[in-house]
Amino acid sequence: MSKELLISRTLNEWRAVLMDNGEIIDFLMDRLDASEVEKPRVGNIYKGRVLRVLPGMQSAFIDIGWQKAAFLYVDDAYLPSLEEQREASEKFKDAKKKQEEKEQVGEVIPDELSTLTETMEMRFRSTKPIESFLKEGQEIVVQIAKEPISTKGPRVTRHITLPGRHVVYMPYIEHTGVSRRIESEPERERLREILDSIRSESVGVIARTAAESQSSKTLKSDYGILVKLWKELERGFKKAKAPKLCYQDLPFTHRVLRDITDENVDQIIIDDEESLQSVEKFASKYLPSLKGKTRLYSGEIPLFEKSGVDLELERGISNKVFLRSGGSLNIDQTEALVSIDVNTGKFVGRKNLEDTILKTNLEAVKEIAYQLRLRNCGGIIIIDFIDMEKEDHRDAVYSALLDVLKKDRSKTNVLPISGLGLVEMTRKRTRDTLTRLLCSPCPYCEGTGKVKSISTICYELIRELFKSLDRHEGKKVLIFAHPEVTARLCGEDLDMIQSIETKFSKSLIVRSENNYHIEQYEIIPQ
């Protein structure tokens, strides 16, 4: 098996998966239908207008020209001076040294840009209230940090970053960083020296994972392109009138090559000739290592179907995932957290109960890591493993989980297994989940997964009749309801309908409405 990038296009929909030995490592999708054209994407830069400053939340809402206002938190809104940055940098170094001396409670597996995350989240905490430097009506430049998810608008930041293939340029933050996914200390030091030699004072640059083993010339060229781009953007900001989109991230196929592809990809298979030409042109200019690795797919069976991707995506939106041994995972995504429950199911083992539980949990670990990547689950994640009595078994499962999560491009923080057999972890997410990309809430239950039973609805209707009939003088009452409800009223509950007619001396006429929601009904006196 090999490492493959598959790109499929169907009219205005693009899908891409990175596969390693038949396993999906990353999945991206983009749709350009009427509702999605103007959707803010991570990396887009806007000139926005401050709509409202909220001192109580130390945040603000920014008009970027989209249907929902963007959210800006105080730490993302404050642009520190060069002196403040350097002072904070020294404090950060001391704090980091002390932290390293302490015993680490959980294991943090960094993402590709974790150094940048540290820079933003740990070094430059604003000490000034947001209302002191941000006013309503003020025009500011912001960048999308998180895309709109569910009912929430996008989250934005004033800490602009421009990602290239090998480096990330930060025009407002003085910092030199190296992706923590580059583990070799000599290589990290070499990259720092190169970056320090090419960057200007008061700006920042971070070496991405793809920068490993790259020459000084390559990094300098990548950095120079980003500097030129930023200068062009600055000129555009001065002319633009808020709200306005000033910079849009690369087209889909180019983002795929930049963000999820590396030199280890053996081949790139594309089922659309126009997309193939676009990829080849971009790769020849910026990614020469991928030259000759592209090919056009023209088979009768759709590319994603033949490669098994469509089947995996179907598994990715199901609440229940079966393991090869017969066990299963129950995955529930809520607003607050993602819960994963491990069950033995049909697997009964061969030796003893503890071995059966250990084998199921170890198998579940691999599938959990895979499903988290596939579904792009983020935020708080709770994993309920099957209870293990032996300490070495718990340690083995925890170590296995940390090991498989190293494949994940997103930053994760994993705590050891608790006394209740639970693993608490967090996973960074900037895009919507697979479920929200491919699915809509049920029009009946509106996403709750439940509707009232027919009998409950009938008794509610009958109680409503008792409340309302005394107030009306008419002799006839029309009842409109869903066919399943009317069938029960005229069947099992007919005696109650007749007793109401006798009690109130009124004639009840029940009529079915096929277009009614199952919980909807109307009582109309005549």
Torsion angle of C-alpha atoms 102, 108, 114, 118, degrees rounded to 10: -30
pLDDT at residue 117, rounded to an integer: 41
pLDDT at residue 94, rounded to an integer: 66
pLDDT at residue 165, rounded to an integer: 78
The upper half-sphere exposure of residue 489, i.e. CA atoms within 13 Å in the direction of its Cβ, equals 25
The helix (H) or strand (E) run that includes residue 74 is: helix 74-77
pLDDT at residue 346, rounded to an integer: 63
Beta bridge partners of 381: 338, 425
pLDDT at residue 489, rounded to an integer: 93
Residue type, 314: E
User: Which residue has tokens 């974790």?
Assistant: 114
Interhelix angle 309-316/353-375, nearest 10 degrees: 100
pLDDT at residue 114, rounded to an integer: 44
What are 190-220's pLDDT values in tens digits? Answer: 999 999 999 988 899 999 887 888 889 889 9
pLDDT at residue 408, rounded to an integer: 83
- Whether cis (ω within 30° of 0) applies to the bond prior to 243 is yes
Beta bridge partners of 341: 330, 384
Distance CA 134, CA 60 (A): 8
Task: Identify the segments of the chain with pLDDT beneath 50.
Answer: 35-37, 101-103, 113-122
pLDDT at residue 119, rounded to an integer: 42
